[in-house]
Every structure is written in structure tokens, then in C-alpha cells.
Amino acid sequence: MAIMKQANEENLWVASCSSGLEALLLDELQALGAINLKETISAVAFTGTLEVAYRCCLWSRLANRILYVVKIFSITSIDDLYQNTLHVAWERHFSVNESFSVDFKGTNKFLDNSLFGAQRVKDAVVDRFREISGQRPNVDTKTPKLRLNARLNKNQVQLSIDLAGESLHRRGYRLASGPAPLKENLAAALLLRSGWPKILMRGGGLIDPMCGGGTFLIEAAMIACDIAPGLFRKKFGFEFWAFHEASVWESLVSDAKARRVIGLKNLCSDIRGFDIDPKAIAATRLNIEACDLDKNIQIAVRSIDQVDAVSIQKGLIITNPPYGKRLDDLDTLRPVYRKISSALKLNFQGWRASVFTGNLELAREIDLSPSRQYKLYNASIPCKLLVFTDIRSKSDQIRMRLATPPPPPELGLDAQMLKNRLNKNRRKLKSWLKANSTDCYRLYDCDLPEYAIAIDVYKDVLLVQEYQLPSNFDKARAAERFEDIVKVIKNCSIDWKCKVLHKQRVRQRGLSQYQKLEDEGSILLTVTEDSAKFEVNLSNYIDTGLFLDHRKLRARIASEIKDKSFLNLFCYTASASVRAALGGAKSSLSCDMSNTYISWANRNMSLNNISKAAHRLLRVDCVQWLNSDRSVNELFDIILLDPPTFSNSKKMAKVFDIARDHENLIVRCMQILEPSGTLYFSTNFKKFKMSGEITRQFIVRDITHETIDYDFRRNQKIHRVCEIKNR
């Protein structure tokens, strides 16, 4: 039985959400300080301190509830449910004088009624108090002081205490509503899926032409003003929980209030709402005033065909039009959807538009092609969020696609030199590619100093990466060079029948080194390397998930690993572990502190049908793990140590610096290496110098030249690799 730990210790929590929002919620919880996150159906489990749980209650825009997990157990009968609940020390969580209720979700073959499940849990809690004190707490299904939650999945039950008390979508500002209002957390999710935070950063505004009770407007303003969504709630369930730490909560609320003041002062985005129904506008006005946003949101009675962008130059137009419940509603609502289509094409060229609807037949009346579609639920209604980034009619778009493509742009002398070099490199790599089973490689890497780019090929995609130019470089000249690059790449892509994707590689500082570049969908490919398959993401991160320059090192490990054990530290997406497993390793352990990378590594393992029992993944701070008394007592035959050059992640115990910390890491690795084993140490730090103590204590051989493949031969400093053995 779990008893609540101290406020500064980690506990197990579960955040529930609507179906389809799990991935968004996971990212949000991670940003709020949650760790060890695990996505499940309509929920995300995580660990963290009581402060983290409070922060999630106050700041989560997406969660329904934050649950403290009291006990998880298996049942094979109804009596098991009762007995396991009876043996929880409920008297340590709340007083017999407090009322409670039980929410029960799930059925199985011997418990086919969730109401009966709730009854048995309630009986066990009441009987526990009777045994301990001779008294029983009151059960209040409508306004309980504390709400208990039980989830049955197959034969496993999770018993929890609901910190929210009532669903977190009830922000506390809705005093009135129009017909069929959106839940607040669903509205927030739709805004995030529509790219509102990014539009906001670019100075864009927002319009809801059919605003109803104003939920989109208020949630958009709260995001824009950095207002905690839980700030207006009158109460939370944890206020009646015995383990509630009032001082911790009050500190978080005080900080949120201060952030709200600053956010309101700094808001420069234009947010407007319209509706043809005066009653809807009146409801919106009441709700806006309830959260003191009446000076920040403008509303007016207006039909959709009267709505235009007014003074807002760019932004997001988002709406949730009526769906219709009966067949005869369709004829009434078709003109509404046609008006949406006409208004978008007439007045919102260059904007992004999002339409959330539960009626796809009506959605077809919008004569636009959505660039993205998201399946979500509005209560029990299956819906789609249609996101339009190209507001032109479908017929116009088809005409554009069918039009004869323009001839390749003419190239100047320097640009022609760049194109010649790309063609030359491609010819030279042709025979090498035939001899090597890979469909991703480096085509160009600053071969001509004037053009500071790298070009990698992933199947039929040219990934063009611009290196950051020195600050004193002439901007006009840089612009000319960039135009040359664009022309040449466009020219080549037409000849080679390739797609083109651009990135800029800059030194990442602070938290930016761990954040995504974009949140507008992912360009994912599955690529091959010998017999291995890897997932790469070409759009969302600085790196793609596969370090191409380590190809030969991975092959070397695969050739040496048969019937041996492998440890991969700072494993990233575990590509080396995949190669080791396919090379016949008897076991492997891959470690990284990033939940994103461990999840990615897990997908790579699944892609290659690798046993998770023999080839394990561990989310951990590698430095802390090496320096601690590890639970792993085994020695490893081959270890790959590929740490970052520098990291100031808040997840690490202290700032990591490869120049300073490599000696300790290597010594620790050698302590868990078999006497005849090999440690491969790799770094991208160009100024790296191996510690003299390491070279005195061990046999160190620089094998960098042996690990650089043919496509990286032009850059011998792409990485540094040392083979380290015991003397």
C-alpha cells in the first residue's frame, strides 16, 4: 500500500484527458516538471513531487484530473476488489468527518457494471473507517469533499485520490454559455493543434466568427497572457486531503498571479469574437468579464459573411460551427458552412484557419483542402479539426498543381559552381552506395567555403542545413549566397526528382537545446542501414534521430558484439544498440535521460523486432547513474560512451562539461567493463583533449580515421573516437 511521501519526494500520479490528447498532454506535463512519463489510453502516468502535482492542477490546460495513485492491484473476483480496498489506510488520507464519493471506470468478465464496482469500493472504505474508529464518513455523490477514483483495466485496478475534485476543464469563469459549448480543455487543445502559440509569437491575432460563449477567445487570451487555467477555480479536491501542503500551493498561486499581471501588461495580440446571436455575445461578455479580460478581447454581433480581418494583418481564424443532429438539419446548415468557405477565401488570404466539426458531410461544403486533420471527440461525438494553411479554393489549388512547372532558374557563375560540385559528389558516391546498403548519406559539407551548408540525402528528400555565419559576415552578401543556394537546390531537386527541406543549424543554448523546432506535424521516414531500420524525423528537431557520421562505428560494434553484452550510454535513439542486437549481442542496456529519446529508441527496437527482455532501455541521468551504487551488477563486453559536449538540463544533477567531466565518466565505465572488453568513447567537441590520467591508466588508441565513412571524408573533424582498453 502506498502512503504519501514528503512534499519534496517523488510520487506516482496520473493525469487523465480526452481521447486523442495524450501526446499533447505528455509534452505539457513534461514542461511542468513531470518525469518518467508514460502515455496510456486517455491518460498520462508520471512521477514527481507534490509541488509538481499542484503545478499540474494549476497550469494544465489539457488534463481532466490529476490523480494521486494510492494502490495498484490485480483482482480475480469481486471480493478481491473489496479486500484490497479495505486494506488501504484511508484514515491517513481523510477524516471520518469529511464526505467522499467514488468514481469507477471499466468492466471485465466478472464485473460488468461500473456502478456496482463503485459500490464495492465505497463499502470497503466505509467498513475501514468503522473498523478503525467505529464511525463512518458520509457519501456525497454531488458535492463530496474528497473524490476517490478507481480504474479497472482487464484484471488490474488503480485506486487514486482526485486532487482536482471536479474536472479541470471547469476553469471557474463560465457564468453563461451558448448552445453546445466546448469544454475549456478541448478548446485549449484545438488552439494548440492549430498553432496558436507560434502565431502569437509572430504577432498574429485571432478571430472566432461564431464565438458562442467565447471559450476559444478566453482560452486563447489566457495562453497569450500567461494566465494559469486553474487560477479562477474556487476549490480543489486536495484542500480536504490530509497530505495537503497549503504553503506549497499558496506559493504557486502567488507566482501565477504575478505572471498574470505581467502577461496582461505585455499582451499585444488582437483577439476578437463575433456571433450573429445577441444572446451568445451577451454570454461571451459575462464570461470574459468573469476573468477580467474584457479589455483584452473585443466582441460584437455580426454574421460570418460580415467578418473580415479588419486591422489584424495575420493570424488564426478558428471556429466550431453547429453540426446538426437530424437529417433535416443538413439543409439548414449547408449555407452556414458555405458562408464560412466564402468568408475565408474573400477576407483571410494568408491566414491560418481551423474548423472543428462533428459533421464531415457539412465540412465538404468548405471549398478548401485541409493541410492537416486531427481526430478528436467533443463529448461522445467523433469530430475532426480541419486546419487550412493554404486558403485557396480546391479548384485553384488543382490548377496550380497541374500548371506546367516553371523552368529551373538561371544560375550565375558561382551558383553554377555549386551545382557542378553537387553533381560531381553525386556521381562519386554512386558506386559507394551500390556497395553499401544505406539510403541516407551526406552529399555536401561546406565543400565550397562560400556556401556554408550541409546536404544530407534521406531517401528522396534533400535535407539542406545552413550553418550559422559569423556575426561580422556582410548581410547583403549572405543574402546573395542564400539566393544562390535556393536556386541551385531547386534546380537539382527538379533534375533528381527529390523533395527539399531546409534547416538552420545554430548553437543551441539553455533550454532551447532540448526543445522542438516546430510543432506543426512531423516529416517521418523509415530508413535503412545494412539490415537495420531506423525512424528519422526530418522536421521537428535539430538532429534527425540518426547520426550519419557514426555509421562505421555502429558497423564496427555490430561486427564485434556476437554473444557479448553491450552498454550504450547517452544512447540517443539507440541506433547503435539496434545494430548490436542485429549483430548477435546476447544482451544490451541503453541509457538516456530524455523521455523523447527513450520512446524513439523503443520504436526503433520494435521496427527491427528486437526482444525488449534481452535489450533493455533505461531512462536515467547517465552521469548520476555511473556515480551511484547501480542496481546493475553485471559487467559489459563493449561500452559506447557518446556524451554531449555540454548540458545544463534541469534534469541533470549539475551542469555537464565534456572537457571537465570526461575523466570521471571514462573511469566509471572502465569499472563496469569486462577485463578484456572495449570502451568506445566518442565526442563532437573539436577542441577535445584526452586527460593525461586516462592515457596513463588505460590503453587509449585514437581510431577516428577508422570510423569516418566515405561520404564524410571531406570533414575529418566531424567527430573524435577513441578505443580504450585495460592495461
Give pLDDT tens digits for 143-194. 999 999 999 999 999 999 999 999 999 999 999 876 778 999 999 999 999 9
Same domain, 106 and 200: no
pLDDT tier, 6 (very low <50, low <70, confident <90, very high otherwise): low
Contact indicator for 456, 463 with CB cutoff of 8 Å: yes
DSSP 417: H
Asked if residue 569 is part of any domain, the answer here is yes
Average pLDDT value for residue range 110-125: 94
Quick one: cell of 214?
467565447
Asked if residue 139 is part of any domain, the answer here is yes
pTM, entire model: 0.58
Question: How many residues make up the chain in this entry?
Answer: 727
Whether the per-residue pLDDT at 298 is higher than 50: the answer is yes
Domain range for 696 is 543-726
Per the model's pLDDT, the better-predicted residue between 373 and 628 turns out to be: 373
For position 397, what pLDDT does the model report? 59
DSSP 380: T
The three-class DSSP label of residue 236 is coil
Instruction: Give the tens place of pLDDT for each residue, 436-481.
Output: 889 999 999 988 877 888 999 999 999 998 877 666 666 667 777 7
For position 515, what pLDDT does the model report? 40
All residues at 6 or more sequence positions from 68 whose CB lies less than 8 Å from its CB, including other chains? 4, 11, 12, 13, 53, 160, 161, 163, 241
Q: Pick the closest to residue 314 from 345, 366, 350 (CA basis).
A: 350
Same domain, 22 and 146: yes
Same domain, 462 and 581: no
Instruction: Report d(CA 319, CA 248) in Å as an integer.
Output: 39
Asked if residue 22 is part of any domain, the answer here is yes
Which residue in this structure is represented by grid cell 551548408?
A: 453
Same domain, 567 and 633: yes
Instruction: Give the tens place of pLDDT for each residue, 589-604.
Output: 999 999 999 999 999 9
**Helical H segments across 267-305, by residue range:** 278-290
Q: Name the domain boundary from 369, 397, 425.
A: 397
Contact indicator for 441, 457 with CB cutoff of 8 Å: yes
CATH, residue 81: 3.30.2130.30
Instruction: Report d(CA 540, CA 217) in Å as an integer.
Output: 28
Instruction: Give the tens place of pLDDT for each residue, 349-378.
Output: 889 999 999 998 899 899 888 888 999 999
Which pairing describes strands 156-162 and 65-74: parallel, antiparallel, or unpaired?
A: antiparallel
Least-confidence region, from 133-137, 238-242, 415-419, 477-481 = 477-481
Same domain, 216 and 327: yes
Q: With the CA atoms of 326, 331, 333 and 335 taken in that order, what torsion angle do they form, in degrees rounded to the nearest 10?
A: 170
Instruction: Report d(CA 503, CA 319) in Å as an integer.
Output: 32
How many domains does the chain contain in total? 4
Asked if residue 536 is part of any domain, the answer here is no
- The amino acid present at 518, given as its one-letter code, is E
Instruction: Report d(CA 618, CA 591) in Å as an integer.
Output: 5
For position 202, what pLDDT does the model report? 86
Instruction: Report d(CA 440, CA 433) in Å as an integer.
Output: 9
Q: What are the C-alpha distances in Å from 438 to residues 181, 608, 638, 713?
A: 52, 15, 25, 17
Same domain, 200 and 116: no
Largest CA distance in the chain: 94
Same domain, 644 and 720: yes
Same domain, 419 and 392: no
Contact indicator for 640, 569 with CB cutoff of 8 Å: yes
Same domain, 478 and 341: no
Quick one: cell of 682?
566518442
Instruction: Give the tens place of pLDDT for each residue, 632-671.
Output: 578 999 999 999 998 876 666 678 899 999 999 999 999 9
Average pLDDT, the chain: 89
Instruction: Report d(CA 215, CA 177) in Å as an integer.
Output: 9
- The amino acid present at 126, given as its one-letter code, is V
Same domain, 444 and 581: no
Q: Name the domain boundary from 340, 362, 397.
A: 397
Whether the per-residue pLDDT at 310 is higher than 80: the answer is no
Asked if residue 220 is part of any domain, the answer here is yes
Which residue in this structure is represented by grid cell 547520426?
A: 547
With 0-12 / 13-18 / 19 or more C-beta atoms within 10 angstroms meaning exposed / middle / buried, residue 243 is middle
Asked if residue 368 is part of any domain, the answer here is yes
Q: What is the 3-state secondary structure (H, E, C) of 517-554?
A: CCCCCCCEEEEEECCEEEEEECCCCCCCCCCHHHHHHH
CATH, residue 482: 3.30.750.80
Contact indicator for 334, 321 with CB cutoff of 8 Å: no
Least-confidence region, from 233-237, 268-272, 309-313, 720-724 = 309-313
For position 506, what pLDDT does the model report? 47
pLDDT tier, 613 (very low <50, low <70, confident <90, very high otherwise): very high
Same domain, 375 and 428: no
Average pLDDT value for residue range 330-355: 90
Instruction: Give the tens place of pLDDT for each residue, 507-525.
Output: 443 333 334 444 444 688 9
Contact indicator for 442, 456 with CB cutoff of 8 Å: yes
Within a 13 Å sphere around the CA of 450, how many CA atoms are in the beta-carbon half? 15
Whether the per-residue pLDDT at 14 is higher than 80: the answer is yes
CATH, residue 393: 3.40.50.150
Same domain, 147 and 290: no
Asked if residue 57 is part of any domain, the answer here is yes
